[in-house]
Structure 1
Amino acid sequence: MLRSLLRKISRLIAFGVLVTLALVGAAVWYASQPVTLAQPKVDFSVEHGRSMREVAHAVARQGVGVSPFVLSWMARVTGHAHRIQAGEYRVETGITPWQLIELLSEGSNNYAQLAVIEGWHWRRLRAALDAMPDLRHDTLGRSDTEVAQMLGIDGALEGRFFPDTYFFARGSSDVELLKRAADRMQQVLAEEWAARDPAIGLANAEDALILASVVEKETGLDADRGNIASVFHNRLRIGMPLQSDPTVIYGMGTDFDGNLRRRDLQADTPYNTYTRRGLPPSPLAMVGRAALRATLRPPRTDYLYFVARGNGASVFSRNLDDHNRAVARYQKGGAR
């Protein structure tokens, strides 16, 4: 009886060993086989704080043909699961699951990053790109028109790039980074435009981007962004000039010396929203999602004016008398 039981246990152990060896063999084979990709080159993102399981599912969703369960299991049993690096990645045809795991765990050594900030002008972004030692500078010395052609952008470059932190392979082209930022801007703009309040009076997504850039430059405190957007919507609705200082400053270009004078507010340019009604002809700067969202889904208010308190916050008024009192209290000179 005991001998029979021991034989059964031995057979179960042997079977278990065979199954384990078969699974290990299958995993080794799988790890060495090229994965299928949705395109010859697939870009994907890994966000900070994500678990290996979440990363595996995100990689699969973004066009890399791997089994999230198997990829996550392989990373865990080989000790790579806790070494995954956040960042932006690109994989190409021929990569295997094992190479993918190694890439994800060594990303910080192979990639550099550039932070693009809300409110930056194109010239500020270009200076930051030119100063990056880890980029290949294919746009260096090119005119803005030439850079736009390289990127397939029809028109000016201002406001066409989404503010974010971009990870890139060392030695990659600045054109590739700009193209990713431009594509991201179009994606976010399309998403926010699709979710817009149907009551807003903007004709198209381009107008939304222009107005959002004004909101971006006017916002000193995040909590005020929605009310600032509502002021400009209310003014556009009744045909009142926007009277935005950042638009005047943008129209002055390099002539602006840091001090906005009354004569500057009276000097007509296409961007002077004191002398001209409606929106300026193009965006003023790079726009974040929060400014787009405030512009496309503003709160319903009857504010027509605002003035800066001096601490980043603004005071909002419904009529000129209240606004003038706020200006007298918090600052001298012109204000919306």
Structure 2
Amino acid sequence: MTLSALDQLKTLTTIVADTGDLQAIQQFRPLDATTNPSLITAAAQQPENRELIEDAYFQARSEGYETDLLVERTIDILTVKLGVEILKIVEGRVSTEVDAALSYDTEATISKAKELLALYKGYGIDQNRILIKIASTWEGIQAAKVLEAEGIHCNLTLLFGLHQAKACADAKVTLISPFVGRILDWYKKAEKVNSYPIEKDPGVLSVKQIYHFYKQNDVKTEVMGASFRSIEQVLGLAGCDLLTVSPNLLADLEKDFRTVTSQLTTEHAHSHQDHRCAVLTEAEFKHDLEADLMAFQLLQSGVDGFIKAREQLSTLLRQSFGLDAEIKA
């Protein structure tokens, strides 16, 4: 029997579902799952999640929260409740994101991460099944460094360049999520082209560079390619530690029967000693980030986008529970 591209890929790479859609996770049965504010907002609009939203709201209210703080607490509880439901389906971990508005505040990020973990603990979830998701700003990476030292596992997201990956290695984070599709989008617009052959796809090449750097320097941090635009990009990174893929692309991979071969291996990485590991200072990190226009722009726009998604969820909750009228009163 011929295996689908998805089944072949699963023999080379850990597949993670990039969604808050519980039905999709049930269908594809990935080992892990990732969420972000945009995915949480989308999940909150699904009728089948109405009970989760109401439970989150009434729990926040019972804890004594009111007005604006009530909405923020409800979002945090809802985010964790969705994570709990996901963990009932997957065998591994779920990534839960800290409020992106805290991306440039190390102490606030640490505090929020611990709040989220306390909620998970209240639902009986082992801390080792949670990855705290944090934007790869300098401040976010330093927060992750503190959290990892305390045994709290982190997933550094919105990662677009080797300088960010190096800083994450210095911080000994558990996992990074370099974005493939957003890099491709940026270069297509900047270079005014419609497409690239997969061997020249700038998003795919970026993840390969990071993967090689980590394996060459025996960095233990896992590399999880993210933000894909096509199954060609996904298959172009076959062999990566993990790949987080949206349900629509998982469905396409399930219907595809081409032969899948590994594009990334530790052995191949060690045969190309391109980069030596050196600890980056804050000044060096920020210099490298600002010098990389693509990474600089995409990091900030990514943070802004996640903030906007959380604001949309806030508006949805206010309207749903009549909180705008309550606040005005």
TM-score, structure 2 length as denominator?
0.25
More helix by share: 2
Bigger-Rg structure (1/2): 1
TM-score, structure 1 length as denominator?
0.24
Question: Looking at both structures, which has the greater relative contact order when contacts are Cα pairs under 8 Å and sequence separation is at least 6?
Answer: 2
